Amino acid sequence: MTWMITGGAGYIGAHVARAMAGAGERVVVLDDISAGVPARLPADIPLIRGSSLDGELLRRLFAEHGVTGVVHLAARKQVGESVEQPLRYYRENVGGLVTLLEAVADAGIKRFVFSSSAAVYGNPPDVDLVSEDTPCVPINPYGETKLAGEWLVRAAGRAHGIATVCLRYFNVAGSASPELADTGVYNVIPMVFDRLTRDEAPRIFGDDHPTPDGTCVRDYIHVADLADAHLAAARRVQAHPEGDLTVNIGRGDGVSVRELVTLIGEVSGDHRPALVEPRREGDAPRAVADAGLAAKELGFTARRGVREMVESAWEGWCLHHPEARRA
């Protein structure tokens, strides 16, 4: 098999490309470098600079490289931006996916893995674990494009005999090495690092939620585990050349924001107390994956814990922000 990994120079994509190549799969990366970093990829993984929105380019690359499977990570992923620019998000994340699936179907490619997100659930109901049959009610255009993407992938798969897996990632964190770290400040761990680096106290939004310590509980997954989940998905569509699967990828274990901030204090050596601000409207108190289906269908269980995520994320942060390491 030869796998095309779209968005493979991105934070998650580079981990996926390395994990799959390391496991003996042939991979080729397509990335327009709008948010990617070419240096995340080793020299022996070919990187083609181009857009997954370009159907002609896709057809040529599929033929030139003998592509037999696609792992599609390329997307816009910022929730706030998606509220301001919904048309762009629909055009790139949904329209672009139509173009890609057309090219896949025309080329006779029969295996497809799609990056979805727990954002498809929106604010999940008050349940202990969010299973795949929890209703999907996204609350922003980003989540809507991921849900529409799942529909497209499943429908195209069924119509064209493509085996598909949609992976609903929960909160992704950490890095396999500092050079591969996430450079964006879009989720809680880098946001806390950013505050500490600016000599400001971390912020916690609400400590009056109905959770054990009053702060929101989330499910964090190490990006290296997530990469292993992609490998498992790739192996599944190879072994089962029919059918579709939509599956949560998380640890099935909740961590509160308060616990996370305490852990970040331990790892960074900066123990300043957090500022508690009012709850943000619409934040679900708890969103933790039921990880059972991934274990059953993919044989995948996350191995790395939250401390490992925070430690590796901190190493990556300090590489890009040397001023952060004061201790």
CB of residue 268 to ligand NAD, shortest distance in Å: 21
Nearest in space to 153 (alpha carbons), one of 71, 234, 232, 225: 71
Residue positions annotated with a catalytic role: 142
List the one residue from 34, 83, 161, 266 that touches ligand NAD (CB under 6 A): 34
Binding ligand NAD by CB under 6 A: which of 1, 2, 26, 32?
Answer: 32
Candidate segments 32-40, 59-67, 281-289, 319-327, binder of ligand NAD by CB under 6 A? 32-40
Q: Does 141 engage in binding with ligand NAD (CB under 6 A)?
A: no
Mention every residue, 6+ apart, whose C-beta is less than 8 A from residue 247: 132, 165, 166, 167, 168, 293, 294, 297, 298
DSSP alpha helices (H): ranges in the chain?
A: 11-22, 55-65, 79-84, 86-89, 96-107, 141-160, 188-197, 223-239, 257-268, 292-293, 306-320
Handedness of CA 294, 165, 127, 214 (dihedral sign): positive
| Closest CA relative to residue 130, chosen from 238, 236, 1, 286 | 286
- Determine which residue in the list 3, 21, 77, 207 makes contact with ligand NAD, applying CB under 6 A: 77
Q: How far is the CB of 32 from ligand NAD (least distance, A)?
A: 4
Q: Which stretch binds ligand NAD (CB under 6 A): 70-78, 125-133, 229-237, 291-299?
A: 70-78
Query: Does the protein bind ligand NAD through residue 143 (CB under 6 A)?
Result: no
Q: Does 35 bind ligand NAD (CB under 6 A)?
A: yes
Q: How far is the CB of 29 from ligand NAD (least distance, A)?
A: 9
Q: Helix, strand or coil for residue 271?
A: coil
DSSP string, 48-72: EE--TT-HHHHHHHHHHHT--EEEE
- Confirm if 97 and 136 have CB atoms less than 8 A apart: no
Site string for ligand NAD, 95-134 (x = CB under 6 A): -x------------------x-x-----------------
Q: How many Å separate Cα 290 from the centre of its chain? A: 17
246 binds ligand NAD (CB under 6 A): no
As a whole number of angstroms, the distance between CA 69 and CA 28 comes to 10
Query: Cβ distance 248 to 293 under 8 Å?
Result: yes
Q: Is 75 in the site for ligand NAD (CB under 6 A)?
A: yes
Q: Which is nearer to ligand NAD, 75 or 207 (CB)?
A: 75
Beta carbon of residue 273, minimum distance to ligand NAD (angstroms, whole number): 27
CB 20 within 8 A of CB 234: yes
Q: In this chain, which residue has its C-beta nearest to ligand NAD?
A: 10
Q: Which residue of 52, 140, 215, 256 would you call a contact of ligand NAD, by CB under 6 A?
A: 52
What is the contact surface with ligand NAD in residues (CB under 6 A)? 6-7, 9-13, 30-36, 51-53, 73-75, 77, 92, 96, 115, 117, 169, 172, 187
